[in-house]
Structure 1
């Protein structure tokens, strides 16, 4: 069983090092790349106000958070939920930095010691789409994920969107799905795999004209490269 947790946070500002805190944690569980509904969503009292710029992004006021639990009260439950999973995070350094600081403040080891690994979808997207915008909104637009309900940033909503984005970014992994994802027959049971081991494929040899045309193309490439084509050099060495 492959268990992944898609995670997002909202914070009072941009710098955990200077005292900003986590105010919302949203987590969505995937098991074998399928949503399970076993999600975690918490609002947390940071004992400080959000920076005005951050407040404009998430809209979570100090008044709303005043009666919410503090991170210290929820730390063990959070770690129990995350333990042993692969975390999927967009711009992982930001969220992990904040969670590590919260754990440090309550005397607990950093996040990496509790989870299997962390996958950064921002880094993945930059490799797949170099030179393009790779924000969560941009990826939703590019990959056909409906983000029309995202007026303000919210940790749970963003984690749900990121789960869809991640599945689309890694669509090639569908070849690794378990048998329960195989096509089903009319009775609802998985179709049996077709045994191709006895299949004999015909071998069609190239004609003399085709072989000569091939050699002509190789000669042109060799001439254009100044006689530095690999196949000519290796043939001479042999």
Structure 2
């Protein structure tokens, strides 16, 4: 199954209040595996950038004034996302801005049935815990050291790794079809054999030296200077 992980950066919190999308980043997953395909774009919001928003993502009004308008990139974006599920963290926020921009271009809104919200998934799996993207990266050991400021493509890349872990990890399915997975899950038959009777004890081997062996030993030590056996008073 193909899924698109995406994130947006904006001028504020409310599209209804005049805020606009200024960046979008999308990552393609197929079968819960990143394919390496992505879509990323900055947009000129045709309005000022509040200092509070710029402090979050670092995108200045000067920088964005040289970027394309959303309507100039909309076809490329729609071609990339296709009709597949769209995964985001606090997805209603990102869907709200995406659909607002589509509406300004007289394009059809993305159906909310395509929305997959990783925030809702995390709250269901870890009630009472912290559910921010940073907190989930920490929980799953995802390296977020490059995340000095928010960025749509970087956050989508981090979220892709978090989403994989939230939905079963990288080992999920292993690409097996249902019949193969059933065989993998089947119990392994173990042959049971009758216990082996212990062997009868073997008689102790005689270990006393023969007279011939004793004579050979006496001749051997006779050639020694101050042999240990004489000092210890051991009879040979």
Q: Tell me the TM-score range normalised by the shorter chain.
A: 0.7 to 0.9
For residues 163-178 of structure 1, the aligned pairs below 5 Å read 163-171=160-168, 174-178=171-175
TM-score between both structures, scaled by the size of structure 1: 0.73
C-alpha distance after superposition, 1:4-49 (max 9, x if no partner): 1100000011110011000000001111111111100100000112
C-alpha distance after superposition, 1:105-162 (max 9, x if no partner): 111111118xx72110000001111112100001111111110110100000000000
Over 3 Å counting, the alpha-carbon distance change for 1:8 and 1:175 in structure 2 is closer
Q: CA deviation at 1:98?
A: 0.4
TM-score between both structures, scaled by the size of structure 2: 0.74
Distance in 2 (alpha carbons) for counterparts of 1:195 and 1:127: 27
1:138 aligns with 2:135: yes
Q: What is the Cα-based RMSD across aligned positions, in Å?
A: 2.5
Superposed structure 1 runs of 4+ greater than 2 Å apart: 172-177, 193-202
For residues 29-40 of structure 1, the aligned pairs below 5 Å read 29-40=28-39
The match for 1:162 is 159
Distance in 1 (alpha carbons) for counterparts of 2:143 and 2:52: 26
Over 3 Å counting, the alpha-carbon distance change for 1:194 and 1:128 in structure 2 is closer
Q: Which residues of structure 2 form unaligned runs of 5+?
A: 178-182, 193-236
For residues 41-60 of structure 1, the aligned pairs below 5 Å read 41-60=40-59
Q: Which residues of structure 1 form unaligned runs of 5+?
A: 181-192, 203-238
Number of aligned residue pairs: 188
C-alpha distance after superposition, 1:193-237 (max 9, x if no partner): 6796894899xxxxxxxxxxxxxxxxxxxxxxxxxxxxxxxxxxx
The answer to whether the 8 Å contact 1:32/1:177 transfers is: no
